[in-house]
Amino acid sequence: MENHQAKSECNDIRIQEYCRTRDLSLRNELVDEYLYIAKIAAKKFAGRGVEYDDLLQTATLALIKALERYDHTRNVMFSTFASPCVIGEIKNYFRDKSRSIRLPRRNGELLKQVEKVVDSLAAELGAQPKPGQVAERMNISVELVHELMEARSRSYVVSLDDPIGESDDSGWSISDTMGTEEAAYSIVEDKDFFNRIMDDLSIPEQQFIKQRYINGNSQKEIALAMNVSQMYVSRMEKKLIERLRKYL
């Protein structure tokens, strides 16, 4: 128990250090330390139509994003903060996987004809017809029948109250796997993009970016601070905007 507490305190100190330094090697160490959160979450949702490895990959990415967003000054343990972030990302993954596929109009009309022929043959034969029989009746290829039937299964929309699977007795429904959008995750990519750009700018250009877009100063205020003309600042801004567009 004491060893576990000492380890947690050590991790807290290293997380605080990472929040200050953003050292990548330290981040990788912390991700390894807290990977158990991703593994637990992935196992919780395993066996519901998605491979465990895919769930673990999604959970690990969510763990990294949570580490980037974590604010140690709020006096909340990282594990407490990260767990719902990881769970939410997995639920979003399930939500995206469960979206229905819209069929092209031509295939949609042909599929309706296939369904009518299937019903007609089933009544005649007293059993579910085979794809070859459907293809012969409609004068189309067996491959096309298979393609249409597969498209129908993919585009089938189920109720959100339906269980996850026929063999799933956990009581979970599809709605339980649906998460909410986490717009703050994009901050990770934006921050990385911003840091790479700043490293490639000159010191005056970096100062301008910070004064103009972080501090919100006007061109006139920046010109006074840099001891240059406002026209010079205006031209600098136009050039920087063009460079940023090329970076994007």
146-162 pLDDT, tens digit per residue, is 877 776 655 544 555 55
Q: In angstroms, rounded to a whole number, what is the distance separating the alpha carbons of residues 212 and 233?
A: 10
pLDDT at 101 over 50: no
pLDDT for res 162 = 55
Q: How many CB atoms lie within 10 A of CB 220?
A: 11
Integer CA distances (angstroms), 11 to 73, 142, 214, 229, in order: 15, 61, 32, 50
Per the model's pLDDT, the better-predicted residue between 110 and 106 turns out to be 110
Q: What's the whole-number mean pLDDT along residues 72-80?
A: 85
- Highest mean pLDDT range out of 26-35, 155-164, 178-187, 212-221? 26-35
How close are the terminal C-alpha atoms of the chain, in Å?
50
Which parts of the chain are beta strand (E)? none
Q: How confident is the model at residue 115 (pLDDT cuts 50, 70, 90)?
A: confident
DSSP letters spanning 50-100: S-HHHHHHHHHHHHHHHHHH--GGG---HHHHHHHHHHHHHHHHHHHHTPP
Q: In angstroms, rounded to a whole number, what is the distance separating the alpha carbons of residues 100 and 98?
A: 6
Report which DSSP code applies to 213: I
By mean pLDDT, which of 64-68, 193-197, 236-240 is the weakest? Answer: 193-197
SS3 content of the chain, % helix, strand, coil (to 5): 75, 0, 25
**Joined tokens for residue 198:** 């700043």
Task: Calculate the average pLDDT of the chain.
Answer: 78
Per the model's pLDDT, the better-predicted residue between 24 and 11 turns out to be 24
pLDDT above 70: percentage of residues in the chain: 74
